[in-house]
Amino acid sequence: MKYLITTLITFFFSATVFADNFSVIRDTEVENTLLRYIHPIFKAAGLNPQNAKVVIINDDSINAFVAGGQTIFVHSGLITQAKSPDEIAFVLSHETGHIVGGHVIRGMEQMKNAQTTALISTVLGGLLAAAGGQADAGLGIMMGINSSVMGSFMAYRQSEESAADRTAVDIMNKIGYSMQGFTDTMKELQRQERLSSSYDTNSYWQTHPMTRDRIRHIERFTQNVAAVKKDDNFDLMKAKLIGFLKPIHEILHLYQKNTPADKYALAIAYYRDNKLSDSLKLLDELISQNPLNPYFHELKGQFLFETGQSNDAILSYEKAVELMPNSPLIRLALGQTLSESEDQITLQKAVSHLSTVIKQDRYIPGAWRLLAVSYGKINNIPMANYAMAEYYMLSGDKKQAIKYAKKAIDKIPSNTSTYQYLKDILDITNSKQPNEFEI
């Protein structure tokens, strides 16, 4: 489990550099599909579903984790390797068990205690070695106590994992998912255990009970279970991730039928293979079969935009926004496409859509930058400077944020919310941080 997570937000279907060399995937369809599973899980666990958040990590392993709060981080490999939504539901229920059990906070306390004990053992060992010249004895004390502390901490972590499994069983039974999802997930983890060359050092295997033990502890709940669920949304989500993340030859091997999921994955693979006409043909077939699916229109808009067909891309994105007006990422894609124009009316539309994105989610740096570009093209320089100030604040560049805020503030009416935002930027950037001291 990771205790410090830093997310970077991008738009379209993309991966960004993430803490510890991870990357984050932002995609409305994948996020919304996972949230459709999480919401009833949270409700069954006594949590408010509206507080649920999900972040997709670009990592091919079967894993998920929580890091405080009510955000669940899901590895892309969990989705691409799952055979049914029940597998996803079990893992999400397991992570929800960590949330309701307060395991992250308790884990931090246990780690702090372990670190304190380890420090004391180091000091004692050092004093013994210095006092009597018994270096070997001092080293033995340090190693012995530290090994015991680490073993105790790992045992504590494993007990938390077992408790989360038990909570997941209760949740799965409440919401009607099959425990076959647990069984299938455990079988795959067992296979990976056998293949793992780093079994003794891999943090997952150290902090989780052995898979066979997890199966034994709840095997009474996995007898005569119902069949796994069928969910077209799961199939499409999985096909989309595989289409973007897997090698093209592998996609062509996996998707050889004529289902919507097959067409979806192949449309992406063909696009990646520079076969745009084949890709668009499949997307048009999907749209003809399900014209109310916003993600088909969104993907077509992306492919058209990225191949220089902006006017057609706008039409596709506008349809996607019409079908899903509350998605800031889809509207952001439309805003970017509109901002490429030099036509003043089109640029006014870009400003309108990007302003709506900001109202829906103020914390997307790219939205502020595109808004600045659009304002600049229609010669509204004060608002362009304001947008750049917000962009640099979110990007962590206080010096540039101050520069643009000062340029904008004298040109913005003082009775507006924009003026107050600019004052806030200047107040924040000019205030001393907790680690700044007078000399």
At 371-429, the pLDDT tens digits run: 999 999 999 999 999 999 999 999 999 999 999 999 999 999 999 999 999 999 998 86
Q: Which of 221, 246, 279 is the last residue of a domain?
A: 221
Question: Looking at the DSSP assignment, which residues form a beta bridge with residue 63?
Answer: none
User: Has residue 227 been placed in a domain?
Assistant: no
Work out the average pLDDT over 347-358: 98
Pairing mode of beta strands 71-75, 53-57: parallel
Question: Could you list the residue range(s) of the whole structural domain that residue 181 is in?
Answer: 14-108+133-221
Which among 237, 228, 239 is positioned nearest to 265, based on CA atoms? 239
In terms of pLDDT, which residue wins out, 17 or 139? 139
Same domain, residue pair 295 and 359:
yes
> Is there a contact between 91 and 179 (Cβ–Cβ < 8 Å)?
no
SS3 258: coil
182 pLDDT band, cuts 50/70/90, is confident
Same domain, residue pair 175 and 247:
no
Specify the residue for token string 């380890």: 118
Number of domains in the chain: 2
Same domain, residue pair 293 and 312:
yes
Same domain, residue pair 189 and 236:
no
Same domain, residue pair 58 and 167:
yes
> Is there a contact between 298 and 333 (Cβ–Cβ < 8 Å)?
yes
- Helix 365-377 to helix 328-339 angle (10° resolution) is 30
How confident is the prediction for the chain on average, in pLDDT? 82
User: Has residue 291 been placed in a domain?
Assistant: yes
User: Has residue 113 been placed in a domain?
Assistant: no
Same domain, residue pair 186 and 294:
no
Question: Looking at the DSSP assignment, which residues form a beta bridge with residue 65?
Answer: 73
Same domain, residue pair 139 and 275:
no
Same domain, residue pair 53 and 194:
yes
User: Has residue 216 been placed in a domain?
Assistant: yes
Range with the largest mean pLDDT of 91-105, 168-182, 367-381: 367-381
Structure tokens at 64: 């998920």
Same domain, residue pair 196 and 239:
no
User: Has residue 361 been placed in a domain?
Assistant: yes
- Which percentage of the chain shows pLDDT scores above 70? 73
Same domain, residue pair 216 and 348:
no
Distance (Å) of CA 125 to CA 112, 152, 185: 20, 20, 45
